[in-house]
Amino acid sequence: MLLKASFATQNAPFEQIKPTPHAKCFPNDTETELIGRFEGQQIYASGTREFLKEITDAVKQDRQLIDDGMLDTKFNNPGLLIICDYGKRIIYMQSDLIGLFPAFWGTSEDGFVISDSIPQLQAVIRGDTDDVAVAEIISKDYTVGTRTLFKGINRVRPGESLLFDLGSRKVRSVDKSQLWTPGDSSSMQSLIQTGAELLVEACRPMTGTMLMMSAGWDSKTLLAGAFAAGVADTIHLYYHGAVDSREARLIRAQADRFGLQLTMKGLDPSLFDHGFLQSSFERYSDVMNPHWHSAALFSARVNPEVQSVSAGIHGEIIGGHDGPPDFLSGWRKSASVFCYLTGVPILRGPHPSGKEISPRDSVGNLKLYHRGKPWYMCEDVWRDRFEGIHAQVDRDIEACVDRYIARGTVWPEAVVEAFDVENRLNQITSDQLRSAATFKPLLAPFANRQLMEFSCGVPYEKKVHRTLNQKVVEKLFPELLEYPTAAVLCKSGRPILVQEVTRAIRKATEDGRWWMYRTTNGKVSAPNFGWPNFQFLQHSTAMRDMVNDLKSPLWDKEKMATFIDNWGYRNYHGLQGVMMKVKTLDLFGVS
């Protein structure tokens, strides 16, 4: 959708225009579309089926959606809403609490332009490449706050309500989210009961869904909710990855035991073919996760009884996945998790400390990222344009923290979680779910407003590293706890601290096996404890071919080709992640 609002035109200032051929977007259930005209207003929306029904009901009931001059919907399901008011010559726009359905805006010479696609908007705005945004994606995999890859194009933040006034040519922004404000002080038993009840209600619409399945906690928790809601026997499980891995075996064992439909799809080099990536970018404006795009094609061909596509992605919030430990690495991360699980008030953040810290001190965690020149960038370009640019990245991070503090967030752990959810989860992982749901309606139980508000309100100490997940699953469908997750070596019903110890053992064992695999040139087989999903690339020219197709002057293509040729007997998971980031930037046309 591309909506243009003219400053000059009085009678019909709003125009939905078709995208240009080089910024096309294929039909998609998650696109923003005009859904009705009511009393001098046009209403545009994108969202889940449940969200669109809520809008229809609200209009029929003449429900008041404007509060204090701003759109304030408080719908229970995620979606984006835009209202164009002809009489007032105003556009109201509001994003859902986690920004699951994206929107962007800019100002042209003659009006405001709004779209759910950056390439469509860039075709009108024609902004220069924003080097700070490029640096953010290179170092963190996502842009921060309102920033996008092009100057003059702004991202609508989760929970943000915007008012575009054509008369004054001004834009007003109000943060309507109250997530991560002072949390729930209830007992653990009460939290488990409330969490279980909200999860079951959120999972009731899962009848006939295709659930993107892993052997992790998020999909395990969704499955428990589906069993408790009485709809699990209608679910179709879908797994993509290494079909001979330990994770695949764990999923197959659960599907067999509980009588669930399961499709397992191995990955292959065709995912990285230039033609497939080009068409994927035209459809999704992103090729970070081409295997999720492939899942969309599968969903279009499966049994018509499959009514929606879902994934456990947003379960990271109730699972305590996005706290301070996840910005650390190595022994410091393990020590931080241990301290949170045992209540020891040291080594929780980036610096050993036993004293209380303020929410602003969380900035230390958020600034822990690589700042040097990446191996794939041209030396001259880095020196001329990117040397020292991370001071501006830090300012973007600080602006986000200021926003959360102004909202009323008081705990540093909550600030860290809010930042990770509203930036990384909002862009990278939400893109996965939206792309998988291209041809079927998207269903996002964890993004249910009541469940989301509850999850964000639980103190981090009470949900750290799946503490709350485990108790909720135990209450709803304890049989699932008899199976380990892919990351640990014991049943998921064992104490979380024990599981974390086995995680460290698994990681050390896996690292050792990768070392042996590399030093023996493959005579010792690669480990399959974790996620060897992209090891087929070792015997493919896909990565090298991708280098040949790159166009942007940012890349040192000669060094990249040599680096890939010498990768040899190593884990290809990280390499393909870097290459898909580079390819996405290249397809955006960053210059």
Report the C-alpha gap between 251 and 232 in whole angstroms.
Answer: 15
DSSP 156: P
What is the 3-state composition of the chain as percent helix, strand, coil, each rounded to the nearest 5?
A: 50, 15, 40
Report the C-alpha gap between 128 and 153 in whole angstroms.
Answer: 10
Please determine, for residue 562, whether its predicted confidence score (pLDDT) is greater than 50: yes
* Residue pLDDT, tens place only, 143-198: 999 999 999 999 999 999 999 999 999 999 999 999 999 777 889 999 999 999 99
Report the C-alpha gap between 268 and 399 in whole angstroms.
Answer: 42
* Residue pLDDT, tens place only, 88-121: 999 999 999 999 999 999 999 889 999 999 999 9
Supply the pLDDT for residue 528. Answer: 82
Q: Give the least confident one: 8-17, 280-289, 310-319, 528-537.
A: 8-17
Q: Which two tokens stand for residue 423?
A: 């930036």
Please determine, for residue 355, whether its predicted confidence score (pLDDT) is greater than 60: no
Structure-model confidence comparison of residues 528 and 181, the more confident one:
181
User: How sure is the predictor about 39, in pLDDT bands with cuts at 50, 70 and 90?
Assistant: low
* Residue pLDDT, tens place only, 122-154: 999 999 999 999 999 999 999 999 999 999 999
Supply the pLDDT for residue 224. Answer: 97
What is the chain's mean pLDDT, rounded? Answer: 88
Q: Which two tokens stand for residue 103?
A: 């929107």
- As a whole-number percent, the residues of the chain with pLDDT over 90 amount to 64
Phi, psi of 43 (to 5 degrees): -115, 125
User: How sure is the predictor about 56, in pLDDT bands with cuts at 50, 70 and 90?
Assistant: confident
Class of domain 2-175: alpha beta
3-state SS, residue 334 = helix
Supply the pLDDT for residue 368. Answer: 74
Supply the pLDDT for residue 255. Answer: 97
* pTM of the complete model beyond 0.85: yes
Domain extents for the chain? Answer: 2-175, 188-319+429-491, 327-426, 510-588
Instruction: Point out which residues pair with 552 in neighbouring strands.
Output: none
Phi, psi of 547 (to 5 degrees): -60, -45
Distances from the Cα of 520 to the Cα of 134, 427, 472, 526, 572, angstroms: 38, 39, 45, 11, 17
The mean per-residue pLDDT over the stretch 458-472 comes to: 92
Q: Which CATH number fits domain 188-319+429-491: 3.40.50.620, 3.20.20.150, 3.30.70.360, 3.40.50.720?
A: 3.40.50.620
